[in-house]
Structure 1
Amino acid sequence: MSSTAAALEAACRHANAGRFDAFRAGCWQIVEEAGRAPHTQLEVAALLSSFGFLSDARVLLEACRSMTPDDPAPLANLANLARDAGQHSEARQLYAALLTHLPNHPTVRRNVLTGLEYDPEVSDADRLAQARAWGEWATARAGGPRPRPAIVPLRDRPLGDNREQTTVLCCPAFL
């Protein structure tokens, strides 16, 4: 086990025991000892976020994003963090930026679409347009539209108007 992995595990034990000051101090020490390496910042940010220290996680993710602007990982984590913090407008903007880096990533596309549901600034028409765009994208990825199977009646019952059966089951006043 690497020293970073061991330190992350020790920090996690602190958090699990409710020693959050020691947890946070350990996390920042890991970052400093790793020379503020971006991959270490991502790992520590994920750990901080998982224990609810969203502000600390954001600081690391923004620093990581500035050091590695072409890496979509910090951007994805920032978008998820904004979503988890209830900052839906910011999450929407970050997911849209992420979509330019990863236009065919199914999880990114799903997060873009589902995030619209929680953003009060997005109209129903915009939600519908995005859902249709997602449907077209998914259909294209699946090789195009496919024929639907025919609808068949269950147990030889005819499809269509079943008034005779309905009158037996329902009060005639409701027909």
Structure 2
Amino acid sequence: MSGPRIVGFGGTTREGSTGEQLIRAVLERCARGRASTRLFAGAELAALPHFAPEQPERSPAQRDFVEAIRAADGIVIGTPGYHGGVSGLVKNAIDLLEDLRADQRPYFEGRPVGLIVCAAGWQATGVTLAALRGIVHAMRGWPTPLGLTVNTVAQKPFDPAGALADEAVRGGVEELSRQLMSFVRP
């Protein structure tokens, strides 16, 4: 595929979590726009050993993840808002990207990064989104103007069949995908 490469990662240890489904929905829409996409969901992230900067050896799963991000033209990160912050699962994956520090294009440099936060309350979604934006800025990325936040108590984003059911969430997924695709520079 000659289009941009969009890599998404995040979710929780629960297969099919709301965050994982939202990342998947954004990637599906990017794929409709001719992007090649890849998802590292909660199960893949949970299998990553803890990042240890003093240990340069990497597992095959760690190398695969780092190489996918290295080759990405755009990135989607989804996290639950645990106690107002990024989950340890997602943070460990982000920390592993320290391996990109000496690259020609370090960290997230020059790439749009779409952000998704799911939490059981609006306050947790807001502060977690702000924290995630700060992380992306520190890693030289461009957070998209829209950061998608979903309050899993007030909103039911998916129907039982897994289709987007909430109109506001569906609109957010569409806009986040549009922004990612319009900002990538393959």
TM-score, normalised via structure 2 length: 0.26
- Rg larger in structure: 1
Structure with higher helix content: 1
- Higher relative contact order, chain-length normalized (CA < 8 Å, sep 6+): 2
TM-score of the superposed pair, with normalisation by structure 1: 0.27
